[in-house]
C-alpha cells in the first residue's frame, strides 16, 4: 500500500502528526508512506521513523496553476492507493481528486466534496488525537499513542559530547529556548533575564543552558551580557536539539517546535502561550505546564508568574 499525506504548516505541526504516521506504519508495516510538506518543515522528518520520502511544496506561496499541476503530476506518477490531508482547503481537495487516488481521506468542511471518506474536525481536542481519527477508514480504532521521535545515533552522540563541553553532563541543566522567531510572538529578553537571574540565585548548582539558533543571536547576546554563568548550545539540526532537550532536567520555551520535541522526549516543560490555546498542543500531564497570557500577548506574562509556576507556587 502506498500512502501520501499532505501536511501544511511548520515543523511543530509535522511532529504533532507523528503518532498517526507511526500507528499507520505499525498496523501496515509494509506500507510506503510519503508526505508533502512545506520546504521549511522538511527537517522535522529527520526524527521520524515511519516516512519513506518527503516531497516539498509551499502551500503558503502564491502558486500558479502550473505549480499545482506539477504537484498533481508528481503525485500521479507515484500511483498512491490512499491520500490523507490534514488541512481543509477546497483547493487541496480538488488537487487530490485530480490525482485519481482511489481513497482520499480528510475532514468535513471545505473540499470534502472531493474526498471519499471524511471525519468531523474537533479543533478543541489535543491535535494528535484529532489527526489520529484519520486512521479510522483504515480500520484502526486504537487510542492515539504518545508523541515520539526517533533520534539518529550521531545526534545522540553529539549531545553527549556537547553536555561534556558545557560541563553539565553530571549536574544536569535547565534548558531555555527563547524561540524568538518560531512563534507568532516574542517573549522579551528582559523577562527571560529576570527569570534566569532569580533561578541562578535560588539554584546556583543547576546550570542554565540557552539554545541559540541563527535567528536568536541578538536575544542570546543580550542575555549573556546580563546573566553570569549562562551557557550556550547551538544544535544545527532537529535531532541534536531533541537530544539536548532529552538530557535537560527542565525546559522553558514558547509555543514552538522545541515544545513538541520536549513532549516527545518527556522532559518536564513550562511553555508560554500568547493568544494560542494550549489545549490542542499539550497532552494532559503534570510534566507539561502551560502559562497562557490573560491578554493574548506573550510579552504580558510576567516573569513572576513564570517563577511561581517554576517553584510550584
Please check whether residue 173 lies inside any domain of the structure.
Answer: yes
Q: Check residue 186 and give left, alpha or beta (phi > 0: left; psi -120 to 50: alpha).
A: beta
User: How far is the C-alpha of 133 from the C-alpha of 72, rounded, in Å?
Assistant: 26
Q: What is the pLDDT of residues 12-30, one digit of tens each?
A: 999 999 999 999 999 999 9
Domain boundary among 138, 167, 199: 138
Domain boundary among 108, 138, 168: 138
Say how many CA atoms lie within 13 Å of 306 toward its Cβ: 27
Q: What is the pLDDT of residues 202-221, one digit of tens each?
A: 999 999 999 998 888 889 99
301 with 171, same domain? Answer: yes
Please check whether residue 121 lies inside any domain of the structure.
Answer: yes
What separation in angstroms does the CA of 87 have from each of 72, 108, 131, 200?
Answer: 17, 10, 10, 44
Residue 260's nearest CA partner among 177, 200, 199, 171 is 177
Question: Domains in the chain: how many in total?
Answer: 2
User: How far is the C-alpha of 265 from the C-alpha of 66, rounded, in Å?
Assistant: 41
What per-residue confidence (pLDDT) applies to 180?
A: 60
Q: Count other C-beta atoms under 10 Å from residue 225's C-beta.
A: 11
C-alpha cell at 42: 522538511
- Low-confidence spans in the chain with pLDDT less than 50: 182-183, 313
Please report, for the domain that includes residue 269, its CATH number. Answer: 3.40.50.2000
Domain of 175? 153-310
What per-residue confidence (pLDDT) applies to 122?
A: 87
Please check whether residue 147 lies inside any domain of the structure.
Answer: no
User: Which pTM value belongs to this model?
Assistant: 0.93
Angle of CA points 276, 278, 284, to nearest 5°: 170
What per-residue confidence (pLDDT) applies to 181?
A: 56
119 with 225, same domain? Answer: no
Please check whether residue 200 lies inside any domain of the structure.
Answer: yes
252 with 170, same domain? Answer: yes
Q: What is the pLDDT of residues 116-138, one digit of tens each?
A: 999 999 888 999 999 999 999 99
Which positions ≥6 away from 153 have C-beta within 8 Å?
none
Instruction: Say how many Å lie between the first and final Cα of the chain, rounded.
Output: 52
Sheet of strand 32-37, all strands in order from the earlier edge strand to the far edge: 53-56, 32-37, 2-7, 82-85, 103-107, 117-119
Domain boundary among 114, 138, 162: 138
266 with 297, same domain? Answer: yes
State the DSSP H helix or E strand holding residue 180, giving kind and residue range, or none if neither. none
Amino acid at each position: 500500500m502506498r500512502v501520501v499525506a499532505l501536511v501544511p504548516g511548520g515543523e511543530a505541526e509535522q511532529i504533532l502528526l507523528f503518532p498517526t504516521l507511526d500507528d499507520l506504519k505499525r498496523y501496515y508495516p509494509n506500507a510506503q508512506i510519503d508526505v508533502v510538506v512545506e520546504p521549511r518543515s522538511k527537517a522535522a522528518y529527520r526524527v521520524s521513523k515511519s516516512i519513506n520520502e518527503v516531497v516539498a511544496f509551499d502551500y503558503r506561496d502564491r502558486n500558479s496553476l502550473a505549480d499545482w499541476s506539477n504537484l498533481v503530476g508528481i503525485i500521479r506518477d507515484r500511483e498512491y492507493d490512499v491520500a490523507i490531508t490534514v488541512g481543509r482547503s477546497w483547493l487541496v481537495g480538488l488537487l487530490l481528486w485530480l490525482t485519481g487516488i482511489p481513497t482520499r481521506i480528510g475532514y468535513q468542511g471545505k473540499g470534502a466534496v472531493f474526498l471519499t471518506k471524511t471525519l468531523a474536525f474537533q479543533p478543541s481536542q489535543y491535535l494528535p488525537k484529532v489527526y489520529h481519527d484519520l486512521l479510522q477508514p483504515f480500520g484502526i480504532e486504537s487510542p492515539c499513542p504518545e508523541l515520539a521521535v526517533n533520534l539518529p545515533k550521531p545526534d545522540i552522540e553529539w549531545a553527549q559530547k556537547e553536555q561534556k563541553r558545557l560541563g553539565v553532563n553530571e549536574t544536569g541543566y535547565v534548558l531555555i529556548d527563547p524561540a524568538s522567531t518560531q512563534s507568532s510572538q516574542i517573549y522579551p529578553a528582559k523577562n527571560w533575564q529576570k527569570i534566569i537571574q532569580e533561578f541562578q540565585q535560588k539554584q546556583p548548582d543547576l546550570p542554565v543552558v540557552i539554545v541559540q539558533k541563527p535567528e536568536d543571536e541578538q536575544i542570546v547576546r543580550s542575555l549573556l551580557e546580563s546573566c553570569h554563568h549562562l551557557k550556550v548550545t547551538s544544535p544545527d539540526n532537529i535531532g541534536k536539539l531533541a537530544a539536548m532537550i532529552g538530557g535537560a532536567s527542565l525546559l522553558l520555551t514558547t509555543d514552538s517546535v522545541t515544545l513538541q520535541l520536549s513532549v516527545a522526549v518527556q522532559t518536564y516543560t513550562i511553555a508560554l502561550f500568547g493568544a494560542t490555546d494550549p489545549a490542542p498542543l499539550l497532552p494532559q500531564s503534570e510534566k507539561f505546564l502551560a502559562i497562557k497570557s490573560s491578554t493574548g500577548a506573550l510579552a504580558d506574562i510576567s516573569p513572576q508568574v513564570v517563577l511561581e509556576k517554576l517553584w510550584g507556587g
